[in-house]
A and B are shown apart, each in its own frame.
Chain A
Amino acid sequence: AQKVTQAQTEISVVEKEDVTLDCVYETRDTTYYLFWYKQPPSGELVFLIRRNSFDEQNEISGRYSWNFQKSTSSFNFTITASQVVDSAVYFCASGTGANNLFFGTGTRLTVIP
């Protein structure tokens, strides 16, 4: 079975600081997918990104960037110049599909104005 570890339970940063959320996964599958989801204080879950195991290219989307390193089984998420609206719980997930998807326990990010 897959396992996802988000060792950082809570992180607090001051607005405009950069912050990296760590995600380490375990799998025996050669083909798998990695995801990040955001859960703002309102409670809904918002899909941020999906990566497949064959694509190790880093991705940048505005202030968000993701670093996928197969060698360390990590899929870390960096927010540059954090804003108060980034305050949320962030979940990393890994699996071979919707029928086999495992979530980490989440990292609560608080951005202090």
Chain B
Amino acid sequence: EAQVTQNPRYLITVTGKKLTVTCSQNMNHEYMSWYRQDPGLGLRQIYYSMNVEVTDKGDVPEGYKVSRKEKRNFPLILESPSPNQTSLYFCASSLEGSLGQYFGPGTRLTVT
């Protein structure tokens, strides 16, 4: 089954404790992105990747890092989480940049 998986689905952590949210797709897609969803703000892009070892900032990259060492994986790293990073995070992938994206199930992160 074609899918994007994210782990963990839920995470409660404390300020400053490094964490990684994993994202994996099994569709051999070139493009992958991370978004955060906040009430009243819709989805905002954090980072995107056009291929292995090619990543770039989206609209709200501050406080986040990503890597794309393999085509299927695109982890999101929060080196020192802060409460304003409490949000719902989505990973997405697409075969080409102009096509509709497949989204993962979301990761709800709470930073206390």
Contacts and interface: CB of A to CB of B under 8 A. Distances in A.
Interface size class of B (residues with CB under 8 A): 20 to 34
Interface in B42-62: 42-45, 48, 50, 56, 58-59
Nearest to B100: A47
Contacts, number: 64
A101 interface: yes
Contact of B101 (A47, A52, A104): A47
A98 B33 contact: yes
B102 A98 contact: no
Where chain A touches its partner, the secondary structure class is strand
Contacts of A33: 98
A35 B106 CA distance: 19
Contacts of A61: none
B42 A105 contact: yes
Contacts of A102: 59
Contacts of B102: 47
Interface of B: 31, 33, 35, 40-45, 48, 50, 56, 58-59, 88, 90, 92, 94, 96-106
19 contacts: A4-B42, A37-B103, A50-B98, A91-B43, A93-B43, A97-B97, A97-B98, A98-B31, A98-B50, A98-B92, A98-B96, A98-B98, A98-B99, A99-B48, A99-B58, A103-B42, A103-B43, A103-B44, A105-B41
Interface of A: 4, 33, 35, 37, 43-50, 52, 91, 93, 96-99, 101-106
